[in-house]
């Protein structure tokens, strides 16, 4: 979905005249379809303990081939259910296998494109599993791409997305208060979407946003650490960076989406209302993108999400693209048969007419 324009639905109408209260973009609404991962499969009715609250913690383990292509993707997901009662739900993802982790208090079930969890929570229940995903089917949902050249590796933040925003006439003092509030609430897991008073018409504007990634990287060769680094890609920093990594060296790095918005919420003196309004929207949309990448696999209910993406270079070849995620592999032969049948009947009719 990268490069696509995402239209967020808010309580405003571009071009509308007159003063009115306008809700700014939600900092929790996903921009684009993935993550969390989706997959085609039967839908089940979700049942959760009451009150439903789930901590969703994940580690995405990505194996990167020498070429930089994604060779494998495994996810260790731990869901901590709180509340008393039955649970029954699926976590969708294109996957090959699943196994319980030692700390899990239930066994995961495997269905085509889904992990199945079922049981009873006596107040707290830990569900933990390692999923082996179809690498070719999920690589595009990863937030980072690695490209290896001789002597270096380039890290590219791939979370950017174009979103429709708007400009309009608002009071700068009100907008500065909104920016301060966004800054204060940025680290909250579920910040609120603020509202502003707009006087007159609004005009659509395309905004490009991404999720800043905090990177910890280490370059080793034969067990000896050559370099350790910490830096941010995306957000207030450039979207790509290159690190030195001699050929034959192993690179491991972790990437965590971080809600950095200070560059947007601390405007210069004398900034115009239009600039302030756009900064507020960019900040909120960036938070939305960060929240989206905090949940690589879906959670069946509300609660905090956290995902660490761990990349390491491996010797394995790059994964092949997933053959299909929609189960329509049998359509082509059927169509060929139907078309063939029609041609045969038509031929018969023509032959009949000429005899």
Partner 1 sequence: MPPGRFAVLRGLLALAFALILIALGCGGDDAASVRSLTIVVNAPFSKTPYVGETIAHGVELAAAVAGPIDTKDGTVELRVRRLDNALSPRRAIANVRRAVADDAVAIVDEGTGVDGSWTIANDARIPIGVTYQGGMGLVDVDRRPNVFRIAPTDRGIAFRLAEYLIPKRLRVAILTDDSAYGDEGRAALAQSFGSNPEAVAIQLRLPADAPDLSPQVLRARRAGATALLVWARPTTIANVLTAARSRRWSVPVYAPPTGADPLVRQQLADQPQWVDGLTFASGRMTAELGPQAWQTFEAQFVNRYGPDAIGVKTSEGLDVLQPPEYAMYAYDFVNVLAEALRQAGTDDRGALLDALNEVTVRGANGDERGFNLHNHEGVVDDDVYFARFDDMTFAPVKDDPLSSTLPVIDQTR
Among 42, 102, 248, 329, binds partner 1 (CB under 8 A): 42
Nearer to partner 1, 114 or 215 (CB): 114
355 binds partner 1 (CB under 8 A): yes
Interface mask toward partner 1 for 269-288; x: CB under 8 A: --------------------
* Of 89 and 214, CB closest to partner 1: 89
Residues 136 and 352: their CA atoms lie apart, in Å, by 52
The Cα 250–Cα 253 span in angstroms is 10
CB atoms within 10 A of CB 336: 10
Contact indicator for 295, 78 with CB cutoff of 8 Å? no
Which of 16, 66, 110, 302 is close enough to bind partner 1 by CB under 8 A? 110
Distance in Å, CB of 106 to partner 1, minimum: 7
Q: Give the binding-site size for partner 1 (rule: CB under 8 A).
A: 26
- Taking the C-alpha atoms of residue 46 and residue 9, their distance in angstroms, rounded to an integer, is 26
Stretch that binds partner 1, among 14-22, 72-80, 117-125, 242-250 (CB under 8 A): 117-125
| 61 contributes a contact to partner 1 by CB under 8 A | no
Helix spans in 200-330 (H): 262-265, 273-293
Candidate ranges 60-68, 119-127, 244-252, 255-263; the one touching partner 1 (CB under 8 A): 119-127
**Which among 349, 319, 342 has a CA at the least distance from the CA of 96?**
319
Count of other CB atoms within 10 angstroms of residue 19: 11
Out of 28, 57, 59, 118, the only residue in the binding site for partner 1 (CB under 8 A) is: 118
**C-beta closer to partner 1: residue 98 or 287:** 98
Q: Strand, coil or helix: what is 135?
A: helix
Q: Does 231 bind partner 1 (CB under 8 A)?
A: no
Beta pairing partners, 257 = 213
- How is residue 43 written in tokens? 């839908």
Q: One symbol per residue from 1 to 40: x for binding partner 1 (CB under 8 A), - otherwise; what is it?
A: ----------------------------------------
Task: Give Cβ neighbours of residue 73 (< 8 Å, ≥ 6 apart).
Answer: 60, 61, 62, 63, 133, 135, 138, 139, 142
Under the criterion CB under 8 A, does residue 44 sit at the interface with partner 1?
yes
Binding partner 1 (rule: CB under 8 A), the pick from 85, 172, 303, 306 is 85
Residues 6+ apart with CB under 8 A from 346: none
Q: Cβ 268 to partner 1, closest distance in Å?
A: 57
- Which position among 20, 52, 68, 119 is part of the footprint of partner 1 (CB under 8 A)? 119
Distance (Å, whole) CA 29 – CA 57: 19
- Is residue 52 involved in binding partner 1 (CB under 8 A)? no
Of 116, 140, 101, 144, the closest CA to residue 308 belongs to 144
Contact residues: partner 1, CB under 8 A? 42, 44-45, 47, 84-86, 88, 98, 106-112, 116, 118-120, 122-123, 348, 351-352, 355
């Amino acid at each position: 979905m990268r490069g696509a324009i995402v239209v967020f639905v808010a309580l405003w109408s571009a071009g509308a005249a007159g003063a009115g209260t306008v809700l700014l973009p939600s900092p929790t609404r996903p921009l684009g379809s993935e993550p969390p991962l989706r997959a085609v499969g039967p839908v089940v009715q979700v049942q959760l303990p009451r009150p439903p609250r789930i901590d969703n913690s994940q580690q995405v383990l990505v194996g990167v081939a020498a070429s930089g292509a994604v060779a494998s993707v495994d996810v260790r997901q731990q869901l901590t259910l709180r509340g008393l009662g039955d649970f029954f739900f699926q976590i969708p993802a294109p996957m090959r296998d699943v196994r319980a982790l030692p700390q899990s208090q239930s066994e995961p079930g495997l269905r085509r494109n889904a992990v199945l969890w079922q049981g009873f929570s006596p107040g707290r229940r830990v569900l933990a599993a390692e999923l082996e995903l179809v690498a070719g089917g999920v690589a595009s949902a990863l937030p980072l791409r690695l490209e290896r050249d001789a002597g270096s590796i380039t890290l590219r933040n791939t979370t950017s997305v174009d979103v429709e925003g708007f400009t309009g006439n608002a009071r700068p003092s009100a907008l500065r208060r909104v920016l301060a509030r966004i800054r204060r609430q940025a680290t909250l897991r579920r910040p609120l979407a603020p509202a502003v008073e707009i006087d007159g018409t609004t005009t659509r504007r395309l905004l490009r946003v991404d999720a800043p990634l905090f990177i910890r990287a280490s370059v080793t060769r034969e067990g000896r650490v050559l370099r350790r680094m910490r830096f941010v890609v995306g957000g207030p920093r450039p979207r790509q960076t290159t690190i030195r990594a001699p050929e034959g060296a192993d690179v491991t790095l972790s990437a965590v989406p971080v809600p950095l918005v200070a560059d947007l919420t601390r405007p210069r003196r004398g900034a115009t209302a239009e600039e302030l309004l756009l900064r507020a929207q960019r900040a909120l949309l960036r938070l939305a993108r960060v929240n989206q990448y905090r949940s690589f696999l879906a959670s069946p209910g509300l609660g905090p999400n956290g995902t660490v993406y761990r990349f390491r270079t491996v010797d394995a070849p790059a994964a092949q693209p997933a053959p299909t995620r929609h189960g329509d592999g049998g359509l082509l032969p059927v169509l060929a048969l139907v078309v063939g049948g029609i041609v045969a009947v038509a031929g018969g009719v023509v032959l009949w007419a000429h005899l």
